[in-house]
Amino acid sequence: MTLEEHARAARLQAYVEYSGFAVGCALETEDGAIITGCNIENASYGATICAERVALVKAVSEGHRRFRRLVICTEAAKHSTPCGLCRQALSEFCGPELAIMLCSATPGKLPTQSYRFGDLYPHPFDRASLAQ
């Protein structure tokens, strides 16, 4: 299965009772493992977690800390990039060369778009920011 296919399969597990907006993603580690995530909503709204952070916390909790590619898939009419909270969370473990690929849940609906993480999030708050 390709990384895109893993992201599409993960999207089918999305729990989207409130927005109906299902997101799936697949994170590829430096050693080739694939960790998936989907968004999981909550009646409180604020306790909702995005697909990207689900994949990231699953990966880190299983001992993975270095990543090569992240594929995100939705059924939206226009591709959307990861939210600010997910960009900041990813920046803790992913360098500017991480490839972020946006694909459609329906193959061929939209062309896949690729970004370099450093272009999407050029100035993360990082450990150097804590220096006083």
If we measure between CA atoms, which residue out of 71, 119, 70, 67 comes closest to residue 96? 119
Instruction: Tell me whether strands 24-29 and 67-74 are parallel, antiparallel or unpaired.
Output: antiparallel
* Smallest separation, CB 48 to ligand THU (Å): 5
* Smallest separation, CB 130 to ligand THU (Å): 26
Q: What are phi and psi of 123, to 5 degrees?
A: -130, 70
Interface residue with ligand THU among 5, 13, 16, 29 (CB under 6 A) is 16
Residue 24 touching ligand THU (CB under 6 A)? no
Residue 51 touching ligand THU (CB under 6 A)? yes
At residue 36, the 3 state secondary structure works out as strand
Tell me if 56 sits within 8 A of 89, measured CB to CB.
Answer: yes
Interface residue with ligand THU among 13, 48, 88, 112 (CB under 6 A) is 48
The dihedral formed by the CA atoms of 20, 74, 32 and 58, expressed in degrees to the nearest 10: -20
* Smallest separation, CB 107 to ligand THU (Å): 20
Q: How many CA atoms lie within 13 A of 113 on its CB side?
A: 14
Show contacts with ligand THU in window 67-96 (CB under 6 A): 82-83, 86
Residue 36 or 39 having the CB closest to ligand THU: 39
Catalog residues that contact ligand THU under the rule CB under 6 A. Answer: 16, 19, 21, 23, 39, 41, 48, 50-52, 82-83, 86
Residues annotated as catalytic are: 52
